[in-house]
Structure 1
Amino acid sequence: MAQIHFSVKGLIIKDKKFLVLHKVSPRCEYFDLPGGKMKNNESAEETLQREILEETSLLIKPISVLHQWDFVNQDYLIMGIIYLCQPLTEEIQLSEEHDYYEWIPLNEESIQSLTPSLANAMSHLNLDNVKTIN
């Protein structure tokens, strides 16, 4: 039986660009949004704030839920949501989990550089509306 995990990701927007992270792995060809798996007795927003702080050292304010996403393979299922986030601090210090980050334009072309499950979920968003929220 496959394990089921719940995860949250943050779409952090600054100057009409969004933050993406690259995992330390020679096989990783895609970017990821900051975030991660929920721990026991944590709310989705607590998970989001904890994970983003751990991965980037940024303090963020969750604004709204944008979309859901999921990833399935033989061993596990990850179900998650993407939050629109406002950065409250600016200096980024990556954890050992990631080797670099970029601020990339919030557009359809850039979304395709994300992992396929996140790219698929974000392709359903009206990006012009997302840009105006922040």
Structure 2
Amino acid sequence: MSKHGFFQITQKLFLRDGNLLLVLRDRKSGHGDLPGGRMNEDEFFEDWTESISREISEELGPNIKIEVKPNPIFVYKHRVNEGNHPCIIIAYDAKRIEGKVELSDEHDYMEWVDIKSFDPKKLFSEYMLEAVQLYLKQYA
């Protein structure tokens, strides 16, 4: 008899500025990443947008203003690099309103890439690559 699994939730943003998409690289793993991150236990029964806001201010700094569309655009499987935990990606569409990104020490690289010509295979791997490919197929 199989048992129920326990999975972490990570909320990720496809943050756009026109046709440009913000991509990041995780400092520890060297893999491509998107803004956002794992939900804390005490955030689960609260408004999930607060979890997104916390992650974005931690990762992109206080000077960028963004608008996150409240409904997820898709859900996908993932493994968190740290500990290899199975995880659910909840993906959201977001747009930059104003301000500049100030990377935290979680990431060592960022780029605004053109969604029409970007090849995610150069930066992303595994399930995050599949999620980015799914996004580009639908929205590029």
**TM-score w.r.t. length of structure 1:** 0.78
Distance 1:6 1:106 in 2: 26
Matches within 5 A, 1:50-69: 50-57=54-61, 58-63=64-69, 64-69=71-76
Matches within 5 A, 1:77-96: 77-96=86-105
Gap change, CA 1:90 and 1:70, over 3 Å in 2: same
2:48 to 44, 47, 59: 44
Q: Percent identity?
A: 23
Note the residue ranges of structure 1 that are not aligned, 5 or more in a row: none
User: Does the 8 A contact of 2:79 with 2:127 survive in 1?
Assistant: no
AA of the residue aligned to 2:58: E
Name the structure 2 match of 1:70. Answer: 77
AA of the residue aligned to 1:31: G
Name the structure 2 match of 1:31. Answer: 32
Name the structure 2 match of 1:5. Answer: 8
Distance 1:4 1:85 in 2: 25
Larger Rg: 2
- Displacement of 1:99: 1.3
1:15 to 14, 18, 23: 18
AA of the residue aligned to 2:125: T
Gap change, CA 1:59 and 1:116, over 3 Å in 2: farther
- Displacement of 1:75: 5.3
Aligned residues: 128
Distance 2:66 2:118 in 1: 25
AA of the residue aligned to 2:74: H
- Displacement of 1:87: 1.6
Provide the aligned C-alpha RMSD in A.
2.6
Distance 1:109 1:19 in 2: 11
Note the residue ranges of structure 2 that are not aligned, 5 or more in a row: none
AA of the residue aligned to 2:13: G
User: Does the 8 A contact of 1:19 with 1:104 survive in 2?
Assistant: yes
What does the per-residue CA deviation read over 1:56-92, in whole Å, with 9 as the maximum and x for residues that have no partner?
Answer: 1233221142111222488521112110002233211
